Amino acid sequence: MAIHSHIGVLAFPFGTHAAPLLTLVRRLATDSSSRGITFSFFNTAKSNSAIFSGQEFDNIKVYDVWDGTHEGEAFTGGNILEAMQLFLSATPGNFEKVMKEAEVESGMKISCLLSDAFLWFTCDLAEGRGIPWVSFWTAASCSLSAHMYTDQIWSLMRSTGAAKTEEKTLSFVPGMTSAHLSDLPGEILSNNLESPLTLMIYKMVQKLPKSTAVVVNSFEEIDPIITNDLKSKFQNFLNIGPSILSSPTLSNGDSGQECLLWLEKQRHASVIYISFGTVTTPQPTEMAALAEALETSEFPFLWSLRDNAMKLLPEGFLERTSKFGMIVSWAPQLKVLENPSVGAFITHCGWNSILESISYGVPMICRPFFGDQNLNSKMVEDVWKIGVRLEGGVFTKNGTIEALHSIMLNETGKAIRENINKLKQKAQNAVKFDGTSTKNFKALLELIKSPRGI
């Protein structure tokens, strides 16, 4: 079959951004009505190797883009923010270079650009080529909405003064009227356009209304008011998730078998699963408090903890908890959350983790750290009522034990479990044949197939 559409995909190579974009691209590439579409996936070598793990897919050609480090020199020192800054300073030239290569190799001009929404300059690249730009927001609708109201929030902050920040609610943001300014992402609160991350997101806010479609890995029914409001702001606002319920995920091979076997031996809904995602490790004092709470409460636990953080555990912790706890450096999280023995998830509230928890009906204990996570935790506790936040917002021994008891032993936990199971059902309905997410996905396919995106 002749190829008639060539989609250029631009990934943001940090946190869990590129993996869900690849999941979306794989779903688009394998849909029966996508014959004749080819995808060129542009991402840094490091991120490509992590998300593809050596696997190849029909219709998806992978290209490495320059990560901004000096040629031939990998980024070694520094933190993720520095790596992001280097990468951003190499954009958009690094992407334009591989886009041209992909066009020469395929013999076909790119007819549509699909990018991580963070990469706002894709709007200009698409305009310059006279082709549509589809943007993918990898977090929840609530944080996207908060960013879209940045100017109004900043003027509220100016009129209120920093001291009153805690008290002011977002009364003018549909669907988030109970959220406080203090729940907002740091990039909004800092109001500092000199920070590269804040500037990137602020520019994104200016460009997104020009995007042919803004796509999110979520489902309309979780935030109907926010969804309607964002539909009025964008040309097309398409909730196409939860992708884990609708798309094949990349197999991890046999990795994590040991903890899955361990889970099989545990009682129904008895295990606490703990993970802080791909970027964060709590401070030493909080690590110690969490460990003490786990040891004292004696709930069985499975903790995904990077090797370099093991040293933060109290001395003798592993031995003392070996009868009821297990620590692994990486867990097959989807399979863990799917396992009926898991009763609660202590999470940093990254959007993928929340969506996975909802998809498998596991109540959450929230310890957010940065970006969208605080607002996500607010929604979890106060709007969706599917989890609790820690008292004081950080791990203390007593606060953590209290949160564990309320989820695992009390009536609060029972109600939360019922709520999350109802939300899980809505998520499952959204991805059924006639569900909202399925319809939106089909609309997305039509948009990218048509050369002008209309």
Active site residues: 17, 116
Site residues (CB under 6 A) for ligand U2F? 15-17, 138-139, 275, 277-279, 304, 330-331, 333-334, 350-353, 356, 371-373
Strands, E assignment, 166-222: 213-216
Closest distance of CB 19 from ligand U2F, Å: 7
Whether residue 244 contacts residue 359, with contact meaning beta carbons closer than 8 Å, is answered with: yes
Q: Retrieve residue 194's tokens.
A: 């000199």
Residue 357 CB, nearest distance to ligand U2F (Å)?
Answer: 9
Cα four-point dihedral sign 254, 258, 259, 260: positive
**Residue 281 CA, distance from chain mean position:** 17
Q: Which is nearer to ligand U2F, 3 or 334 (CB)?
A: 334
Which of 239, 352 has the CB closer to ligand U2F? Answer: 352
Handedness of CA 438, 441, 443, 449 (dihedral sign): negative
Nearer to ligand U2F, 83 or 110 (CB): 83
Which CB, 281 or 412, lies closer to ligand U2F?
A: 281
Residue type, 425: Q
Q: Is 424 helix (H, G, I), strand (E, B) or coil?
A: helix
- In angstroms, what is the minimal distance from the CB of 251 to ligand U2F? 12
Contact 67, 46 (CB under 8 A): yes
Position 35: which residue type?
Answer: R
Contact 39, 7 (CB under 8 A): yes
DSSP 306: -
Nearer to ligand U2F, 102 or 144 (CB): 144
Question: Closest distance between ligand U2F and the C-beta of residue 139, in Å?
Answer: 4
Tell the smallest beta-carbon distance from residue 249 to ligand U2F (Å): 9
DSSP states of 342-356: EEEEEE---HHHHHH
Query: Which residues, 6 or more positions from 98, have their beta carbon under 8 angstroms from its beta carbon?
Result: 40, 42, 63, 64, 65
Of the pair 252, 419, the CB lying nearest ligand U2F is at: 252
Measure the CA–CA gap between 279 and 283, rounded to whole angstroms: 13
The minimum distance between CB 146 and ligand U2F, in angstroms, equals: 13
H or E, element range at 437: helix 436-449
Rounded Cα distance between 140 and 247, Å, is: 18
| Rounded-to-integer distance, Cα 347 and Cα 333, Å | 12
Amino acid identity for residue 90 in this structure: A
Least separation in angstroms between CB 328 and ligand U2F: 7
Strands laid side by side in the 364-366 sheet: 325-328, 301-304, 271-275, 342-347, 364-366, 387-389
CB count in 10 Å sphere of residue 101: 13
Two tokens at 161? Answer: 């003064």
User: Which 8-state DSSP code applies to residue 138?
Assistant: -
Burial pattern 31-67, b for ≥16 Cβ within 10 A else e, equals: eeebeebbbbbbbbebbbeebbeeeebebbebbbbbb
Query: For residue 171, how many other CB atoms are within 10 A of its CB?
Result: 10
> Least CB distance from residue 304 to ligand U2F, whole Å?
3
Amino acid, single-letter form, for residue 261: L
In the bound state with ligand U2F, the residue whose beta carbon lies nearer, of 99 and 118, is 118
Nearer to ligand U2F among residue 322 and residue 329 (C-beta)? 329
